[in-house]
Amino acid sequence: MVRIRVVHDEELLRSALVELLRSDDTLEVSAMSPRADVRDDEVLPTDVCVVDGECLQGPGEAHDAPFRARHGDLLVVLTTPRRPGVLRRAFDAGALGLVDKNAPAQRLITAVHTVAKGERFLDAALTVALLEGAVMPLTARELSVLSLAAEGTPMADIAARLHLSRGTVRNYMATAIRKLGARNRVDAIRILQDAGWT
């Protein structure tokens, strides 16, 4: 038996994934919310973790020891080619399996068995998107400025929080808008969020 844990923040989709995986008699499936307040000694051991890519929230979060300690090292991440930032985070988190959310159901089961053997599974539909997401178009500082702007933070507060002058913040904003090919700040924020970089 291969022990699987499904991690998804939406109950209905989490339940559907559990039922799909239980259709394979060789899989023992459990589930939890990524925000579940569960002690480590209450978490059952697992061989493979199937996680929604949107649950890997911040850059580097999946590298944290608590995430890997709780969910294991063998990750199968569900994502979409339209979100190269999320795909990149999953790859950087050490996911061995990357499955397109629009793939046939059997592909997820195949990915789980492949990853359980310690082998990599990359859905063909995600290959080009992974290459596109290989390089973040913005510097860390440009991303910080745009992320704070996306939260509605005024320019003066962005400058204060990042210990920059207002002029420098405006320059970072203008550069980010240009690099993303956006029309304005709002368009740049939309492009960044659609790609999954924030």
pLDDT in tens, 56-105: 754 444 444 455 556 667 889 999 888 888 888 888 778 899 999 999 99
Identify the CA nearest to 63 among candidates 95, 35, 98, 93: 93
* Cα angle for residues 65, 66, 71 (degrees, 5° grid): 100
C-alpha span between 170 and 155 (Å, rounded): 8
Output b/e per residue, 114-129; b: 16+ Cβ within 10 A: bbbeeeebbbebbeeb
Amino acid, res. 27: L
Q: Residue 75 phi/psi, 5° resolution?
A: -105, 135
Reading the block at residue 39, the tokens are 């002690």
Count Cβ atoms within 10 A of the Cβ of residue 69 and give its class: 0-12 exposed, 13-18 middle, 19 or more buried.
exposed
Least confident interval from 47-56, 81-90, 104-113, 115-124: 81-90
Reading the block at residue 100, the tokens are 């397109």
Reading the block at residue 45, the tokens are 């051991």
Tell me the mean pLDDT in the region 17-33. Answer: 93
C-alpha span between 132 and 123 (Å, rounded): 15
pLDDT(193) > 90:
no
How many other β-carbons are positioned within 10 Å of the β-carbon of residue 17? 23
